[in-house]
Structure 1
Amino acid sequence: MSQKWPPPKPKLAQEDFDEAVKTNIDDFDMAPEEAVQNAIEEFTVQGYDLSAVVKAAGGVDTDNHPLTAASAALAAALESSDNSSGVATLLEAVEQALSAEDAAEITALSQVAIKSKCLAPVLDAARVCADDLPNGRTALLLSLAVARQAMGLPAPEVRDSFAESNGSELLVRLMDKAQGDAPLSTALALTAEAAMTLAEKNKQSLFVSGFGAKALSQLSQSCAHAEAAEKLALTRSLCASLASLVNSDDPRAEASHAFKNTLQLAKDCDAANVLLQALRATAEDADSYCATLAAVARFAANDEICRQFADGGCVEDMLAALKRHAGDRAISRGVLLTLRQLANSDAVKTLLAEHGALQLLVALCGGEGAPDDVVEHALGLLASMMLRQPDIASQAASVGADDALICALSQRASSGAVLRQACAALRNMVVRNPELRAPLLAKGAEERLRAAKSAHAKVLSDVASAALRDLGLDNYSDAAPPPVTKKPINFRPDQEMSEKWVIDRS
């Protein structure tokens, strides 16, 4: 099943913007600054996306830009020679021309990169260097770095030219040549990730070329020697590229193949078990562990795959990591986000409850020290666990989740994102457990929900009203909150978890 996206705003071509500015100057006698501002306003009203347009009279001189000259010189050299001699120097010129310091320079550079088609000769250079290994290895690594630099520009047209230049076939072929060379394999995975970011066409091209299967195979091999720094870097890059491969993040695409491709990799390549290996191999390296968690979250696409992860013991491992790394923001967020995705499976919800997840979440949500984004995801996981699970909701209340929710509504009143998850968790707690409504109301839930709804109307109006309704209140749509009665909150979260967080609201 493919994911549908709403139609994106049409992107305005630089030529159309420049023509409008020229018309304003020539036909309406506007000053250059006025002509530019008028064109911006007109195209904005018409619904165009101007993010990649150079907003200056005269636009950008692409023909005489250093990037155009450097790309042309590289292309000409490759046409006249089939070896890697001298390629590195030409690539360095392209690399230097791709440098920009501020937003205006980056926007202008993006236009030049599109018009000069700079990615194609860089990929051609990689082909020539690959055929000249080991002599061309240094230049090959440089060509991959320059390709990533070009594809990192805010210009999707540059990334799109990756597939058009047969970049997918090149990378997959090089993955075989790079066996045993961890730095080169890492560079290839990073290049694939750059190509796939917000680019559905490149994702599908790489998938069809076999990138997913080869990346999983390499990941399994790298896990066997993950104690080496080079292997950890490779594991990180492979996980990041696999996560990008199955991420439906391109709003320009009419539909995404992410779900279908995830299922195929899970079935044909045992993706869940490979990622389980990676989780254990990276457990002592925070950056690598977080990258692996992100890949697990992306691959947890249906109940069967979630169960595979759970059967492999990752739920218990992640809960242990959450407790062991309490105070580490990145790991805590990564674990909570991944468990929340896995908790789409009812079997995982039950497993989480059986292994003490509720107590950990109550400690995080009810304490003062954890950052708002950690509490937000802890509340999100709590809400997911209680969704359509009245027994888990009762168990949550018995370990203090009701008090923790009241604390979150009170102590995190400035964070709309936290309050939204608190409202969702409160709803799921009481909607099938009417006996829990009275205790929450007695602790001040109504006043705090109405205050939150009033303070964050844009992000909370719907979910706060639903929470008030599920608490059994008839006037749940009322806009004006009653005065908040300061009721004492007799709640002390788990001291072991809470003390590991240093209170820092900066």
Structure 2
Amino acid sequence: MAISISQEAFDSMVRENMEDLGMDPDEALADAVEALTLQGADLSGIVKRVPGEATAAEVSPVVRVLDELKASLSASGGSEQDLDGLVSLLDELRNLCCSGEGSENAAIAVRNGVVEALVALCASARVEQERLLASALKSLSSVLRDVASTEKFRRSEGPRIVMDLLQGGSENSDLLDAGFSVVAAGSAGNEVVKESFMDLKVDELILRVMKDKSKSNVQSLYDAIRVLLKPDDNRVVASQVYGYSRRFAEIGVAEVLVNALREQVAPSSLPSACAALKSIAVNDEICRSISENGGIDVLLQCIDGAGEQKNKAVARSCCSLLSKLAASDANKSIIIQRGGFDRFLKLTSRFSEDPAIIQEVMSMVTVLTLRSPENAARAMEEGYGTLAIQSMQRFPSSVQTQKQACLMIRNLVARNPENRIVLLNDGAEKLIRKAMALHRSCKDAASSALRDLGLDNYNA
């Protein structure tokens, strides 16, 4: 774990280098940075300056903006001119934290109290000041990037304040988008913040907003669902997000998401909506309920459309979600009955030079053929054995494509010995051994594929 260090301690070390060791300013600064880095100190957010020569605001533009923002908040009289000035400063702050040096700027801002200042602004602003609140929330989402910042957000009662704003500003799409961006950013990697939002019934709020068709394209709402349901906090042994996923499904969020995919979601938001629905589909019952509400038919139509429009992002997200739904045996049959094998093969022909799409399709077919000799036989008839061979030949440097081809080959031959001869005659052994030699991460998948092809020296 990195050692925490304050700005004051850093400045003191630079000063000691100059006063006690006689170093010149630049040497003293460089020595302090090097020494603390070797000691494992966390220098993110530290303004690297020579004390006395320049203020933090002069060295870092984000400190200057933050100082001006704090001063404006203290002096603001609530006039339109004051409001315009605050919004301008908030927008400048957000741009600095989203720029090429955004990560470092955000860390500096967090060390200098930006989270507390923005949460306080959101708490004190009037509900009708929607433009100010939206800018403040957007700025807040731009600085919530790690556990240190999200913990400050939590301790400042950020979740409650943001939920109050979302409840009160549910008629303003810009405010909703900014607010749900904070829900997503604040929950990322922080199990306690997720729990806080769930205790405040964010799932019910999300459902209510999604049922309003005019608000269905608030993309950050889908991002919030995905993050809330992702077990991404390494500090906890057992995450509660599986239970949250079931709660989302039980109150009807999955059903509303399917309807959104069918009728309302803009193409730019569709990948996020698919990711949100995928995060809810955590067990067989939920996967089957999504299918019963028409989810598979909708996704197959989206895949067809993505192929025709050459929309890579939509194609990948739909295939990924369909793979998750295919984990249910009942859904496997529905996908195949709806012409899934043929449609997926058409998709690969439209993206023949894109290994990312091809590996998503192979992943889906791997799931569909798992423990199903009938599906494996049908997949071979459709041409998926040829797809595996051609993909390995065409993309030798793509680790994931090679690995996924090996996994698909396993399922095509594991219970279908007649398929082994076909694939071996097409050169599968040589390609698999090449993948094993080139890519260490392919070793397990490759050796298992060779074994299921009936070869004795499968580890060689």
**Shared fold, TM over 0.5:** yes
Relative to structure 1, the CA distance from residue 193 to residue 155 in structure 2 (aligned partners, 3 Å threshold; closer, same or farther) is: closer
Which of the residues 431, 449, 453 maps onto 1:471?
453
Counterpart for residue 314 of structure 1 = 295
Counterpart for residue 378 of structure 1 = 361
Counterpart for residue 294 of structure 1 = 275
Structure 2: distance between partners of 1:15 and 1:133: 36
Task: Write out aligned runs for 1:232-251 (5 A).
Answer: 232-234=216-218, 236-251=219-234
Secondary structure of residue in 2 paired with 1:378: helix
Counterpart for residue 492 of structure 1 = none
Which of the residues 407, 411, 417 maps onto 2:390?
407
Counterpart for residue 213 of structure 1 = 204
Secondary structure of residue in 1 paired with 2:415: coil
Instruction: Please tell me whether the aligned partners of residues 189 and 238 of structure 1 are also in contact (alpha carbons under 8 angstroms).
Output: yes
1:52 is matched by which residue type in structure 2? S
Counterpart for residue 137 of structure 2 = 144
1:42 is matched by which residue type in structure 2? L
Deviation at 1:54, TM superposition (A): 5.3
Structure 2: distance between partners of 1:310 and 1:97: 45
Relative to structure 1, the CA distance from residue 297 to residue 58 in structure 2 (aligned partners, 3 Å threshold; closer, same or farther) is: farther
Counterpart for residue 153 of structure 2 = 162
* Residues 409-457 of structure 1, C-alpha deviations (whole Å, 9 max, x = no match): 111212111111111111111122223212111111101101111122x
Relative to structure 1, the CA distance from residue 68 to residue 266 in structure 2 (aligned partners, 3 Å threshold; closer, same or farther) is: same
Q: Which has the higher contact order (CA 8 A, sep 6+)?
A: 1
Which of the residues 322, 344, 350 maps onto 1:339?
322
Between the aligned residues of both structures, percent identity stands at: 23
Q: CA RMSD in A?
A: 3.4
1:297 is matched by which residue type in structure 2? K
* Residues 482-506 of structure 1, C-alpha deviations (whole Å, 9 max, x = no match): xxxxxxxxxxxxxxxxxxxxxxxxx
2:400 is matched by which residue type in structure 1? A
| Higher deviation after alignment, 288-297 or 91-100 | 91-100
1:270 is matched by which residue type in structure 2? G
Structure 2: distance between partners of 1:51 and 1:203: 27
Residue 305 of structure 2 is aligned to residue 324 of structure 1? yes
Structure 2: distance between partners of 1:175 and 1:125: 15
Which of the residues 108, 124, 127 maps onto 2:123?
127
Deviation at 1:171, TM superposition (A): 2.0
Structure 2: distance between partners of 1:19 and 1:343: 58
1:407 is matched by which residue type in structure 2? Q
Structure 2: distance between partners of 1:83 and 1:53: 32
Relative to structure 1, the CA distance from residue 54 to residue 441 in structure 2 (aligned partners, 3 Å threshold; closer, same or farther) is: farther
Relative to structure 1, the CA distance from residue 61 to residue 439 in structure 2 (aligned partners, 3 Å threshold; closer, same or farther) is: farther
| Higher deviation after alignment, 288-297 or 464-473 | 288-297
Relative to structure 1, the CA distance from residue 49 to residue 356 in structure 2 (aligned partners, 3 Å threshold; closer, same or farther) is: farther
Deviation at 1:318, TM superposition (A): 1.1
Counterpart for residue 108 of structure 2 = 112
Deviation at 1:21, TM superposition (A): 7.4
Structure 2: distance between partners of 1:440 and 1:166: 60
Secondary structure of residue in 1 paired with 2:189: coil
Counterpart for residue 271 of structure 1 = 253
Relative to structure 1, the CA distance from residue 202 to residue 356 in structure 2 (aligned partners, 3 Å threshold; closer, same or farther) is: same
| Higher deviation after alignment, 100-109 or 176-185 | 100-109
Deviation at 1:343, TM superposition (A): 1.5
Relative to structure 1, the CA distance from residue 242 to residue 41 in structure 2 (aligned partners, 3 Å threshold; closer, same or farther) is: closer
Relative to structure 1, the CA distance from residue 417 to residue 15 in structure 2 (aligned partners, 3 Å threshold; closer, same or farther) is: same
Residue 187 of structure 2 is aligned to residue 196 of structure 1? yes
Structure 2: distance between partners of 1:338 and 1:169: 32
Instruction: Please tell me whether the aligned partners of residues 46 and 108 of structure 2 are also in contact (alpha carbons under 8 angstroms).
Output: no
Structure 1: distance between partners of 2:415 and 2:123: 61
Deviation at 1:289, TM superposition (A): 2.0
Counterpart for residue 187 of structure 1 = 178
Residue 370 of structure 2 is aligned to residue 387 of structure 1? yes
Counterpart for residue 460 of structure 1 = 442
* Residues 464-497 of structure 1, C-alpha deviations (whole Å, 9 max, x = no match): 111111111111111xxxxxxxxxxxxxxxxxxx
Instruction: Please tell me whether the aligned partners of residues 420 and 453 of structure 2 are also in contact (alpha carbons under 8 angstroms).
Output: yes
Relative to structure 1, the CA distance from residue 325 to residue 53 in structure 2 (aligned partners, 3 Å threshold; closer, same or farther) is: same
Secondary structure of residue in 1 paired with 2:96: coil
Counterpart for residue 100 of structure 1 = 96
* Residues 93-143 of structure 1, C-alpha deviations (whole Å, 9 max, x = no match): 3543565389895454344323222112212212222xx343x22222222
2:132 is matched by which residue type in structure 1? A
Deviation at 1:237, TM superposition (A): 2.6
Structure 1: distance between partners of 2:197 and 2:152: 13
| Higher deviation after alignment, 15-24 or 446-455 | 15-24
Relative to structure 1, the CA distance from residue 366 to residue 68 in structure 2 (aligned partners, 3 Å threshold; closer, same or farther) is: closer
TM-score (norm 2): 0.86
Structure 2: distance between partners of 1:34 and 1:80: 39
Structure 1: distance between partners of 2:22 and 2:417: 69
Structure 2: distance between partners of 1:37 and 1:165: 31
Counterpart for residue 487 of structure 1 = none
Aligned residues: 449
- Which runs of 5 or more residues in structure 1 are unaligned? 1-9, 226-230, 479-506
Task: Write out aligned runs for 1:427-442 (5 A).
Answer: 427-442=410-425
Residue 218 of structure 2 is aligned to residue 259 of structure 1? no
Structure 1: distance between partners of 2:423 and 2:41: 47
* Residues 348-391 of structure 1, C-alpha deviations (whole Å, 9 max, x = no match): 12211111112233344577724111111111111111112222
TM-score (norm 1): 0.78
